Structure 1
Amino acid sequence: MSTRPARRETAVAAAAEPGTDVTPPARAPDRPEASAPPIATLRVPEVFAATGGSPRGLAPAEAAARRARHGPNELPPVSRRHVRRLLVAQFTDLFAVVLLVSSAITFLAYWLERPRDPATLQLALAILAVVLLNAGIGFAQEYSAERTAESLQAMVPHTCRVLRDAVRRELPARELVPGDLVVLEAGDAVPADCRLVEAQEAAVNNAALTGESDPVARVAEPVPPGPPLQTRNCLFMGTDLVAGTGKAVVFATGAATEFGRIFRLAATAPRQKTPLQLQVAVMARRVAGVALATGALLFAVRVPSGQPFVDTFVFSLGVMVALVPEGLPATLSVSLAIGVRRMARRHALVKQLLAVEALGSTSVICTDKTGTLTQAEMTVVRLWADGVPHAVTGVGYAPVGEVADAGSVRELLRAAALCGNARLVPPAGRDPWRVLGDTTEGALLVAARKAGLDPAAEEARTPRVAEHPFDSVRKLMSTVHRAADGGLFAYAKGAPLELLSRCDAVRSGGTRTPLTDDERRRVAAAADDMAGQGLRVLAVARREIAGPRPQVEEAETGLTLLGLAGMYDPPRPEVRDAVDACRRAGVRIVMVTGDHPLTAEAVARRVGIVREPDPTVVTGPQLDALDDSGLDSLLAGSTELLLCRVSPEHKMRVVTALRRRGEVVAVTGDGANDAPALKHADIGVAMGASGTDVAREAAVMVLLDDSFASITTAVGLGRSVYRNIRKFLIYLFSHNIAELAPILAATFAGFPLVPITAVQILAIDLGSDVLPALALGAEPMEPDVMNSPPRPRRERLFSAAVMGRILFLGGIQALGVCAVFFWHVNASGIPYADFTRSDPVYREAITMVQAGIVVSQFFNALAVRTDRQSVFRAGLFGNPWLLAAGCFGIGLMAAISYAPPLQAVFRTAPLAPADWAVLAAFGALLLAAEEVRKWALRRRRPRPEGGTP
């Protein structure tokens, strides 16, 4: 349903109006006294009467009484989990609950058995230590993330100027009450919802609430009723006065403000669970269920055979411990933390660990335009004068660049620089060049300096004596200046068609010539051409004034057209490559902006979001006309979609619809108006440099450089994290099979003792496995990670391919350790019934089992580094941390085998060199078998390395 503008003239006029408030309608906030007449329609004396205020301001006693009645002018504090709740949450994880119950039962078994076996107490303490270790790591990671979020400051300004009993005072903004008279100047943040009662050339930036950065003129006169954000005599909390001065009466504070309404939308939205959270919860339930069921089954099998009750229970508990991956929670937390640090180095601050992996699932990115895709710095790139276009080089507010044939456009740029109120501020410390005031006027100042003009010197040489501010009816502004000889000149700038209708001459070849109909058509065509390139077009004109200072009608008629200026907010240079990467990765990009459709489409084409000749462009009012099924059809059928002139409710509705379709949605935003959508999205992405604190609070990721390219990098890192999680899951669960298999084999073979004890299993899981698993979690991002489509939201962490690989590798390990155990006990010639726990042969056999698992896991870690590619091609030394971790595990196993104190704890025995050689051979066999499997997979299904296993 394409809604491209039907008439280019309309687009030119809209693009050229720096002060037109085009905010889409928004629902009025809930106010007390809803039956009272809208404050915007009242005359100034009626405003004071309606609010109980006064031109002198409130008396301090009355202000105190109202503050007691209305409360402080601040938003409700964001609820945070108490430290105790955060700590308790670490022990309510299903793995933790299973292990805690196991530890408690083992303690009970220790007190019941006669005589008491120290090994049972060691097992109980070891299991408890595992729970405490996992809880400590998880708590440290989450506490750090919570404190990072708390460091973000509130957006409401800290102080403001107020009249109290006719005395101007500077007070904390939280002390404002309805009826207060606030004094505002250019650059001030608006501290509450106010109605202007005095205004001198005032203009406000409503970007925090509407998403549009254009300054909008504000007046003190009554206006007809309408949507709150479109009332031209009201100011709203969280916005900024960018020009002029004024006085305003507060009519709403705190949560009753329009800003507070949006805050409530965000506060009531539940934080969405990430795909990994859901999958880990399912995995935990299944693993715990299998562990409990297997332990119970073996307990039921062994008790009738005459085995002691307590011994049988401890045996069954060992089976359960073998199946529970004790090191998984810690490994998962640390692996995600590594991803967080990597993203932080790429300018993406992630506040929640699990959001790292969710980024890798992202299938749709709903992105803002200004500041994310663009640099948020208006730049003049083209001038038109004397019928000739002139290119302007350089981007941003730094006056670095050139104007082609600058001499021909000096008068045009001189007039444009004088007809404005913005100021260009040079760098100071770490702050770059910036503009104070209207960014459009700032861009004209920069262009003037590029042409060799000094706007301050020009202002001093021809001082301003009058100004007629911009308004949406005239669509232009003008200023009157006195020349050195005492004469007066009027300069005007504004919408090309409007200004052209007020001109009767044009500057051509340095002289004033009549403006014929043909010349008018030529100027209009030039303006259309600029607008068609997505430029905001302003016309500039002048006239000489004879006599006293003119009124607005005289100053803005009989003008001589000097030329046109075309400007735009330049795209960030790195965005196009990032958009291309998203296309290759199958990630859809939807632009969601408050800007004009023509401007949005032009930027989208420059950065590569739009490539088709006729993309789907939908405005906010058109979204209102769609029901849910119509919106679903729109989102499903449009590959290139631009949503323009949208409100916070529109954005939130689109996000909800996308998630309903099964998409994993990332949403960018910088204003308070974006907070509800950020909260409803799977991944809310706020701007760190230019964004509001409310947006940063609602988001789970903050872009420190505000660039879309950082989102793409984060998506790639998220995918890499997910791949690494699968790698260490295969690594961890495959050896669980090797731990369980000899226990089951011994049970059904009638061997009275366990081939591996629960304490040995814990030593493997925490001593030998955790560090290699962490090293696998730190595998660098593979170069082709963005060359495959995103995985479906419902894809299981343990897919059929992953389970097949676990069974394949675990089966080889199980065969190896079962073979060495039974080979060792059978070679002794001792009957099974005669074996005791202190028997040297038995101790050597269980040592062989533990060492066999540790050694084979070293080779297993090398094998799972790649999914399809040969590990020899990837490089055996590509991950030195993995080699170091594997060597540490083998070294620890050697210490358990040879060190007497550890022998006493684990009941192990020293192994001979030949034993180690046999175990190494089994490990090498595992690696060789995996290499053969990968080779067969590549032959059968050739495709790039890096896909799902």
Structure 2
Amino acid sequence: MSTGTESLGDAPLPAGGAAQTMPAAQVHVALGTSPHGLTEAEAAARRERYGPNRLPRAARRGSWRLLTAQFTGLFAVVLVVASAVTFLAHVLQDPPREGTLQLAVAILCVVVLNAAIGFAQEYSAERTAETLRAMVPHTSRVLRGGERREVSADELVPGDVVVLEAGDAVPADCRLVEAHEVSVDNAPLTGESTPVRRTADAVAPGPPLEARNRVFMGTDVVTGTAKAVVCATGSATEFGRIFRLASAAPRQRTPLQRQVASMARRVAGTALAVGAALFAVRLPAGQDPVAGFVFALGVMVALVPEGLPATLSVSLAIGVRRMARRHALVKKPLAVEALGATTVICTDKTGTLTRAEMTVTRVWAGGRTHPVSGVGYEPAGEVDDPAAVRPLLRAAAMCCDARLLPPAEHQGWRILGDTTEGALLVAAAKAGIDPAAEEAAAPRVAEHPFDPARKLMSTVHRASGASGGVDRPPYTAFVKGAPHEVLARCEAVDWRGDRRELTPKVRTAVTAAHDEMASRGLRVLGVAHRRLPDGPRPGREETESGLTLLGLAGMLDPPRPEVSDAVEACRRAGVRIVMVTGDHPLTAEAVARRVGIVRGPEPAVVTGACLEPMDDRALDALLAQGRELLLCRVAPEHKARIVAAFQRRGEVVAVTGDGANDAPALKHADIGVAMGASGTDVAREAAVMVLLDDSFASIAAAVGLGRSVYQNIRRFLVYVFSSNIGELGPILAATAAGFPLVPISAVQVLAIDLGTDVMPALALGAEPPEPDVMDRPPRPRRERLFSAAVVGRVLFLGGIQTVCVSAVFLWQVGSSGIPYADFTEDTPVYREAVTMVHAGIVLSQFFIALSVRTDRRSALRPAVLTSNPWLLGAGLLAVAAMVAISYVPLLRGLFNTAPLEPADWALLTGLGALPLLADEARKAWLRRRRPARGGEPQHRGPRREGGAR
């Protein structure tokens, strides 16, 4: 059998697009099939030619590549080279020194530890690609050789004839050849919140998604039955096109990734430069080159924060767990901090800001408006004066094809069919109407489906036991649709059971009621009925003329109740919210006003058709206006382009979405946020964060947690680098004094960086968010992790620590009376001095950890001291570890230390507290100089690149 088509390749079959302009009878020939479907042999041949009907698997990095990547970071490379060179130095030493070998092994262990932690986190993040295939239904009903069969959706090929019913997921891109009251939910592809009617008739040439006789993979049949011929499968579908867009988009590095990489380069460069300089200074003094190199290497180790990668990873993991408790699942830990830097949120509407459940909220009947309470599909609520609106709601419920389903299997109340009709059924139930009982009493005998041309739907019902006559007409017609179309066909109005003539005055009142509802952003339907005379079953024209208006029903997709507060929190935090939706502009603006995204009288409302001809300069100018912005009727390419335009302006962009059409923008964004409950698997795969409760409020909470994570990272950076200053300072002081040995060995430095410093640093990463974290503007995108304030505080605290421990060391070795040249590593005084330096740094770091928890408030206030018990516990454990290093013989031999006297511990404790006391004095001076409202600092970050809003 000839297919009549060309090779599939990466695009839909050419005949698929052409077939939309053909009559249904010609479609089978155009696609190389017949009304009986393909034979098994032909289907097998096409499957061999076109491949399976599934999306290609997303590329995943293998385990070995993930593991190898952990050793290519700058910190890891520097440490690996240092370990290798230290091994070489151990070999060249005569005789070889055990301490050099210990140093080489210790540095290598640092690299392995950091790599293990990084690999564990990245490996879990990579295991998400397989969820893509879940969007394609597992089985489909097809005609093969005239017989209906159920086959795996993977086995579908172009030319297959598939049978579709309400509730089915469409398995491939198809051209309808038979359609009976079919409507399809295209939201996963287009973002439209309401189902669209489909037809088997030919349509004019145009974009595939606008063809009313086409259905697409990943969408759902809401009502009706149909037969359709498969036009495209797998990656050649419209769904596959969006998948390719998402796959081609590079994953953006987060601001923290960029800043940590920059910090690593600076720290590594500084360590190499200082180490080389000290090696060059000591070499002319006649020191053995190998010994001089080991000394320089110790300096480098003191400068490089070996424990920082592990501490950073674990601190981000703490943020991930906190977000999980707020129903936000983060797939990549670095995304936690990125949220804190967010300046723009591009949010979808349906299902994100709203509940995706149409609800009747107002009914106009009998000359006045009747409010309806309750939201969603649960029939819980009340109708004001139900007797007055019951005829209207009964007629609307009778003129519906949807069904209201009660809770079952962990699902709540839901609708099978059109959501607009579902809203009418729920409103009828609230008024005490049982649609099933009414249908049984007056069974439907005819139906005239909704048609976009006439914008009406009507049904004809015969009363049970009707016998004709004036008092009991055998037929009743119920009509619902666009108010102006219904009103044009009415000649009377039902005024509380009294049939009145539809005078111009009444028409004006109806129009005013409609306009008032529309101004509230409601979708308004007109409802009417007609008593039909006895005789032959009436046709459509007779059914839909001479009507009696029952009234109007206004409905909306209600915003989530928590969204308004979340939007207000984002406004206070200086985060701009832009709605990006596939819905109609009026609907989008109405929802945006309800939730607070739009407050001004004239927001900028831009459609996809307006975006299309805009060049980048015009788009940049639009975004630079800073006006409240709504982007409506946009395609996936438009949404991704908007994200890129914001990023060009220096914004950190978060994008929310739930449909496959959102996937490219989710991946382009700095932080993609997908909906977990209602979202598609493609959206969840493209995003780095998934909201398990689909609540926009969780985004606002996540932004606050992200900001808190960033502040905590800065806290433990001050803590860690002040320790590095304290380690380096005594070495420089001893070198300047001409002392031949180091005041603290490289092994001791590693013990501090990876042992006693790590636990308090992790505890600092668990600091709770500050109360005013969402009352500050976002930090600038280009603000460095090591800002001037951070560097100044590191030098301030580290400098005090350096002076204290250097003075202790020089006093200890100087007061011994032993000439510097006679000191060796086994000299008892030297071992005591080294131990005091080691213990002095550990004790100082305990007090510094307490100090860096606040920027302006006193860290000694009881409320502050007790708010993080983990920090107190971690600090005491670090001190206990130092005591063990001083007194346990095995550890004394490993670290070349000596037992200290109680007087030594008292002296070191007093000196260790000096950084805390000095920082308390600095904070008190800041509070007196610039009083802050609310206690903590009033953040006034610099203007963002690209202008402030």
AA matched with 1:123: L
What's the offset of the Cα at 1:872?
Answer: 2.2
| Matching residue within 888, 894, 899 for 1:899 | 888
- The residue number in structure 1 matching 2:93 is 113
Does structure 1 residue 923 correspond to structure 2 residue 915? no
Secondary structure of the residue aligned to 1:573 is coil
Does structure 1 residue 309 correspond to structure 2 residue 286? no
| Matching residue within 509, 527, 530 for 1:540 | 527
Secondary structure of the residue aligned to 1:467 is strand
What runs of 5+ residues in structure 1 fail to find an aligned partner?
1-27
| Matching residue within 7, 18, 29 for 1:49 | 29
| Matching residue within 796, 815, 832 for 2:820 | 832
- The residue number in structure 1 matching 2:620 is 632
CA change 1:248–1:227 in 2 (3 A) is same
Moved more, 647-656 or 316-325: 647-656
Scaled by the length of structure 1, the TM-score of the pair is 0.96
Does structure 1 residue 169 correspond to structure 2 residue 146? no
- The residue number in structure 2 matching 1:267 is 247
2: CA distance, partners of 1:816 / 1:796: 30
AA matched with 1:142: E
What's the offset of the Cα at 1:561?
Answer: 0.6
| Matching residue within 576, 592, 608 for 1:604 | 592
2: CA distance, partners of 1:947 / 1:94: 36
2: CA distance, partners of 1:532 / 1:872: 57
1:753-792 correspondence runs (5 A) = 753-792=741-780
Secondary structure of the residue aligned to 1:916 is helix
1: CA distance, partners of 2:937 / 2:678: 36
Does structure 1 residue 800 correspond to structure 2 residue 788? yes
- The residue number in structure 1 matching 2:509 is 522
Does structure 1 residue 743 correspond to structure 2 residue 731? yes
Check conservation: 2:185, 2:219, Cα contact below 8 A: yes
- The residue number in structure 2 matching 1:4 is none
Check conservation: 2:15, 2:31, Cα contact below 8 A: no
1:335-414 correspondence runs (5 A) = 335-414=315-394
Q: Percent identity?
A: 72
Check conservation: 1:779, 1:879, Cα contact below 8 A: yes
| Matching residue within 643, 650, 672 for 1:662 | 650
Does structure 1 residue 580 correspond to structure 2 residue 560? no
Moved more, 870-879 or 85-94: 870-879
- The residue number in structure 1 matching 2:499 is 512
2: CA distance, partners of 1:210 / 1:801: 48
1: CA distance, partners of 2:131 / 2:399: 42
CA distances 1:71-92 after superposition (whole Å, capped 9, x unpaired) = 1111111111111111111111
Secondary structure of the residue aligned to 1:736 is helix
What's the offset of the Cα at 1:626?
Answer: 2.4
Higher relative contact order (CA 8 A, sep 6+): 1
AA matched with 1:529: E
What's the offset of the Cα at 1:627?
Answer: 2.1
What's the offset of the Cα at 1:870?
Answer: 1.1
2: CA distance, partners of 1:42 / 1:143: 51
Does structure 1 residue 186 correspond to structure 2 residue 166? yes
CA distances 1:178-217 after superposition (whole Å, capped 9, x unpaired) = 0000000000000100000111100011001110021111
Check conservation: 1:73, 1:174, Cα contact below 8 A: yes
Secondary structure of the residue aligned to 2:773 is coil
- The residue number in structure 1 matching 2:4 is none
- The residue number in structure 2 matching 1:21 is none
2: CA distance, partners of 1:914 / 1:277: 46
2: CA distance, partners of 1:429 / 1:809: 60
- The residue number in structure 2 matching 1:12 is none
Moved more, 421-430 or 750-759: 421-430
CA change 1:728–1:674 in 2 (3 A) is same
Check conservation: 1:858, 1:886, Cα contact below 8 A: yes
AA matched with 1:934: K
AA matched with 1:287: V
| Matching residue within 853, 860, 865 for 1:865 | 853
1: CA distance, partners of 2:16 / 2:716: 65
AA matched with 1:384: W
Check conservation: 2:343, 2:575, Cα contact below 8 A: yes
AA matched with 1:508: W
AA matched with 1:245: T
1: CA distance, partners of 2:380 / 2:541: 38
Does structure 1 residue 89 correspond to structure 2 residue 78? no
| Matching residue within 623, 630, 643 for 2:631 | 643
CA distances 1:97-117 after superposition (whole Å, capped 9, x unpaired) = 111111111111112211111
- The residue number in structure 1 matching 2:899 is 910
Secondary structure of the residue aligned to 2:775 is coil
- The residue number in structure 2 matching 1:555 is 543
| Matching residue within 200, 213, 220 for 2:193 | 213
Across the two proteins, how many residue pairs are aligned to each other?
922
Moved more, 549-558 or 354-363: 549-558
1: CA distance, partners of 2:410 / 2:95: 73
Secondary structure of the residue aligned to 2:527 is strand
1: CA distance, partners of 2:678 / 2:16: 37
| Matching residue within 256, 260, 277 for 2:236 | 256
CA distances 1:805-834 after superposition (whole Å, capped 9, x unpaired) = 000000000001001101111111111111
Does structure 1 residue 58 correspond to structure 2 residue 46? no
2: CA distance, partners of 1:322 / 1:153: 50
| Matching residue within 666, 680, 684 for 2:668 | 680
Secondary structure of the residue aligned to 1:871 is coil
Does structure 1 residue 852 correspond to structure 2 residue 832? no
Does structure 1 residue 459 correspond to structure 2 residue 403? no
Check conservation: 1:867, 1:947, Cα contact below 8 A: no
Check conservation: 1:422, 1:435, Cα contact below 8 A: yes
Scaled by the length of structure 2, the TM-score of the pair is 0.96
What's the offset of the Cα at 1:33?
Answer: 5.8
Q: Supply the RMSD in Å over aligned alpha carbons.
A: 1.4
2: CA distance, partners of 1:150 / 1:221: 38
What's the offset of the Cα at 1:32?
Answer: 5.5
CA change 1:724–1:649 in 2 (3 A) is same
1: CA distance, partners of 2:749 / 2:938: 33
CA change 1:862–1:32 in 2 (3 A) is closer
CA change 1:947–1:287 in 2 (3 A) is farther
Does structure 1 residue 240 correspond to structure 2 residue 220? yes
| Matching residue within 727, 731, 745 for 2:715 | 727
Secondary structure of the residue aligned to 1:875 is helix
What's the offset of the Cα at 1:303?
Answer: 1.4
AA matched with 2:792: G
What's the offset of the Cα at 1:940?
Answer: 2.5
What's the offset of the Cα at 1:380?
Answer: 0.5
What runs of 5+ residues in structure 2 fail to find an aligned partner?
1-7, 467-473, 942-949
2: CA distance, partners of 1:359 / 1:414: 49
Does structure 1 residue 134 correspond to structure 2 residue 122? no
What's the offset of the Cα at 1:937?
Answer: 1.8
- The residue number in structure 1 matching 2:417 is 437
| Matching residue within 799, 802, 807 for 1:811 | 799
2: CA distance, partners of 1:66 / 1:429: 40
Secondary structure of the residue aligned to 2:847 is helix
What's the offset of the Cα at 1:624?
Answer: 2.1
